[in-house]
Amino acid sequence: MPVVVPCITVGFLTSTLSAAVGRNGYYIASAWVLVEAGYGSAGVATLLFIVSVVEFVASPLVGLIADRFDRRRLNVTADLSRFVVLLATACVILYLGVLLTICLSAILFAFCDRVALTTSQSMIPFMARGNNLAASNSTVFFAMQLGCLGAALLAGPLLSERSPALTFTVLAMFFLVSAGCLHSVRPGSISNSVGSSKSPAFNIDLSLLRLFAVYALLYGSAVLVSVLGSSFVFEEQKDSAAAFGYLETAWSAGSLIGALVLVRLPRAINAHTLHLVLLGLIALALMALIPARAPWTLAIFAALGFLYNLGRVSVEVTLHSRASDNVLGRAKGLMHSLAAVLGLLIFSVAAVLGDSVFPSTIFFGFGVVLLIAISALSIGVEQQEVEL
């Protein structure tokens, strides 16, 4: 499989890569700063609870905006906004409390981030016309996960040796680079005629609802790692920021492979069946964290990253093939809004339990939830006609 699809411009891929470094670096740094300041899993869960509330409220609105206005310009504006937010965070954190600073920063960052992700991912079908949609999505998600890997490798040394203010300043620069690269993309490369006051209505059928449910469960597994990953290392494994960086690196390395594997899978595999298999494997991997010890935990997190991103790319391909260009923003907005609801439930549980329960126990519990959800989603699976 070619790593680069000709229809996807270098500017767009570079922008995606740079923004991914900044975005994931921001969340990694925020989580570690909170844990190191003594707020533990409850503090990280509170942060991400706030993020999910913002995303839940903003996603439908952002989706509508993405269907009616120039997606490239919206993305550039969101990148510049994230740049400003991180610079402000770097300045304010020197004077205000860590928890207050991070939470206020996250409110602004989450909204700008949702605009950027919705608009950038909604551009993919326009650039993939006449080309393999799975390959195009895999290429973009490969760039995103390469950025996640870069963020993991960068965050560890920065957090170990430098102040949080410098860390957020360095990460802010990646959004400036992203905005510049995307601004350089010729407008003709991406359709500017998306918006229309007469966009067709967005109709939801049972297969789309199942797809949204799969996305929500995949999203839930990823945010669970985000919430508990730092505490799993800091409290349960009794290790350092460098070890946390290794864990994030393992996740990102697995995700890189997952982004490339999709187009190699046989076309005969039904998408919904694939999604259920992946969810089942994620459940088993999460449940295996209780008895596992380093270095096996790194292997498990690499497997989780692989399974998550393979499922995520497959969901995106399926959605792009079923939703028309004029309603894609709204479809993605609704899909992520539903996922945010599950995220809110996860963060609520983590915040309530706090440090009274080992992170690996919560991982195990979510694995059980996944197995139950798979049983529910498997009802009528033979009626699914969507194929990779």
The two structure tokens encoding residue 376: 């529910």
Rounded to 5 degrees, what are φ and ψ at 192? Answer: -105, 5
The pLDDT of residue 200: 54
pLDDT digits (tens, 9 = 90+) for 40-51: 767 777 887 788
Do 280 and 381 meet the contact criterion of CB atoms below 8 Å apart? no
Q: Cα–Cα distances in Å, from 35 out to 162, 208, 280?
A: 16, 38, 30
Whole-prediction pTM: 0.76
pLDDT of residue 140: 81
| Percent of the chain at pLDDT exceeding 90 | 12
Split at pLDDT 50, 70, 90, the class of 86 is very high
- Residue 270: strand, helix, or coil: strand
pLDDT, averaged across the chain: 78
The kind and range of the H/E element at 170 are helix 164-184
The Cα 13–Cα 19 span in angstroms is 10
Question: What does the pLDDT read at residue 386?
Answer: 44
Which pLDDT belongs to residue 230? 67
Q: Determine the pLDDT at residue 385.
A: 46
User: Tens digits of per-residue pLDDT, 175-215?
Assistant: 999 998 888 776 555 544 444 444 555 566 677 788 888 98
State both tokens at 163.
């102040």
Query: What domains lie within the chain, and their CATH numbers?
Result: 10-190+204-383 (1.20.1250.20)
pLDDT in tens, 116-143: 888 887 787 776 665 667 777 778 878 8
Cβ-based neighbour number of residue 102 at 10 Å = 29
pLDDT bracket for residue 2 (50, 70, 90): very low
- In three-state form (DSSP H/G/I as H, E/B as E, the rest C), the secondary structure along 7-65 is CCCHHHHHHHHHHHHHHHHHHHHHHHHHHHCCCHHHHHHHHHHHHHHHHHHHHHHHHHH
Q: Is the pLDDT of residue 109 over 90?
A: yes
- b (16+ CB within 10 A) / e for 54-82: bbbebbeebbbbbbbebbbebbbbbbbbb
Q: Residue 88 above 90 pLDDT? A: yes
CA distances from 286 to 52, 211, 274 (A): 22, 22, 18
**Amino acid symbol at 45:** A
Contact yes or no for 282/227 (Cβ under 8 A): no
pLDDT score of 365: 86
Q: What percent of the chain has pLDDT over 70?
A: 78
Please give the Cα distance from 118 to 112 (Å, whole number): 10
pLDDT at 174: 94
* In the predicted structure, residue 272 carries a pLDDT above the cut 70: yes
